[in-house]
Amino acid sequence: MLPDKLTPAELEHLLSTHAEAVDTPTVTEENTHLLRLIPHETRAALTQTMTEHIFAPGEVIFREGDPGNIAYLVWSGRALVMKGTLESPTILGFRGPGDILGEMALLENQPRSASVIALTDLRLLQIHQDDFVRLLSESPSASTDIMAILSARLRTADTIRDTTTRTGCQLTKQISDLKTREEELLAIQQMRQETVDLIVHDLRNPLNILINVLEMLEVTMPPEVRAENQQLLEVGRSAYSRMRRLIDTLLDTSRLEAGEMPLNPQPTDLAGLIHKAVVALTPLATQRNARLLTHVAPDLPPLLIDAELLERVLYNLMDNALKYAPHGDITIAVALQNERVVVSVNDTGPGIPPEERGHIFDRFVQISGTERRRQGFGLGLRFCYLVVRAHGGEIWVETGDNGIGSKFMFTLPLQG
């Protein structure tokens, strides 16, 4: 059993013998901060029930097997999560500002599944189970959201485990079967891509910590301070959203190319998806003195599509148009043509040279020209191409209306 406090030598030995432990929190998904699942009017009552606790380096916050009736919000400092004893420990990871300690045991009303030890001076805000449950009873929808989040965590962890195991087996077999230099080069290229994908996947963790910290600051700030800094908070959220979309595009592009991303088709109102994308990009369009115009065919029937992926396709095409055509009109049109729907996004920018149109949907391809190359990484259009083709459609680019700008067009079958 762990003592109440580890000596500096014990703490140093624990860290030095497990230096390979990943210095990130466990896998989380967007919107997993428990405070964000609770309505604003209930958050104030929750913060009033919190009590502050300070732990010195080496102090044990709680042990594996202890009752799980308290959770902690990490305000500042760093902690280590481990299983087992000092003689035979297993390091699970580290926690820092914006993280929650012990939330799983608190929600499940089960003993602690791991021990947590302070690595630096650690400032925590304590939430007792009785207070948390009482406040949740005032917001039943939050309980349902928490169940969904926990289920998503389990699915994500299981997916990562299966993917890691499968990738390891595949790489072992491929490397053992390599006979020529050409095969070796191909294997190295594949390993590099898989390594990049894993690194990008791990970027989600620190990114989620950032948004959690922003949310915690907003909850704990005095109202007058929050009002004075609201614009900064919004800038932070906007940067988080754009970075999260880039990470998702990188991962999903690889999965689509490998045929490992099944679609989730549901009857969907395409006009509604276009409206959501327009609303999301209107602030950016206003900032760039541009207008987003829509022309949707009346009586458009529902389409059997993956709404989440198609919404991202629309967002990418509109965002791309705003990058290359500021201070102009972006027209999004939808028309029925035979047994398919034709969607177009027309801008008034400089256009795309005909000789480059055949490669515009390849990975990391950008339009020639210094100014244009600074606009992105050349992934958004590749993602659009893969999603549209997965739905049985086609996507291409041509000269814009009246010979001005570019018009990106894609089709979707009326029947999935």
Confidence check: pLDDT of 149 > 60: no
> What DSSP assignment string belongs to 98-162?
T-EESHHHHHHT---SSEEEESS-EEEEEEEHHHHHHHHHT-HHHHHHHHHHHHHHHHHHHHHHH
Q: Which residue has the higher pLDDT, 204 or 88?
A: 88
Last residue of a domain, one of 257, 289, 306: 257
pLDDT (0 to 100) of residue 398: 93
3 lies in some domain: no
Confidence check: pLDDT of 261 > 60: yes
- Residue 176's pLDDT band, with cuts at 50, 70 and 90, is low
Residues 221 and 180 in one domain: yes
pLDDT (0 to 100) of residue 370: 39
322 lies in some domain: yes
pLDDT (0 to 100) of residue 174: 66
380 lies in some domain: yes
Mean of the per-residue pLDDT values for the chain? Answer: 78
This model's pTM is above 0.95: no
CA-wise closest residue to 318 among 380, 411, 249, 238: 380
Condensed to tens digits (0 to 9), the pLDDT of residues 103-140 reads: 777 767 788 888 999 999 999 988 888 877 776 676 66
pLDDT (0 to 100) of residue 304: 94
149 lies in some domain: no
Confidence check: pLDDT of 23 > 50: no
Confidence check: pLDDT of 24 > 50: no
- Residue 307's pLDDT band, with cuts at 50, 70 and 90, is very high
Residues 270 and 408 in one domain: yes
226 lies in some domain: yes
- Residue 46's pLDDT band, with cuts at 50, 70 and 90, is low
What's the structural domain count of the chain? 3
Domain range holding 167? 161-257
Residues 134 and 47 in one domain: yes
155 lies in some domain: no
pLDDT (0 to 100) of residue 119: 93
Task: State the CB neighbour count (10 A cutoff) for residue 328.
Answer: 18
Residues 303 and 364 in one domain: yes
- Residue 27's pLDDT band, with cuts at 50, 70 and 90, is very low
CATH number at 364 reads: 3.30.565.10
Q: How far is CA 311 from the centre of its chain?
A: 16
Task: State the CB neighbour count (10 A cutoff) for residue 139.
Answer: 16
pLDDT (0 to 100) of residue 303: 94
Last residue of a domain, one of 222, 257, 292: 257
Task: State the CB neighbour count (10 A cutoff) for residue 151.
Answer: 10
Q: Which residue has the higher pLDDT, 150 or 56?
A: 56
Last residue of a domain, one of 228, 257, 286: 257
Please, how many CA atoms are within 13 Å of residue 354, restricted to the half-sphere of its CB?
2
Residues 116 and 166 in one domain: no
284 lies in some domain: yes
Confidence check: pLDDT of 20 > 90: no
Residues 272 and 237 in one domain: no
Condensed to tens digits (0 to 9), the pLDDT of residues 362-410 reads: 876 666 543 444 455 457 888 899 999 999 999 999 999 989 899 999 9
Among 2-11, 53-62, 351-360, the minimum mean pLDDT is found in 351-360
pLDDT (0 to 100) of residue 37: 53
CATH number at 120 reads: 2.60.120.10
Residues 279 and 339 in one domain: yes
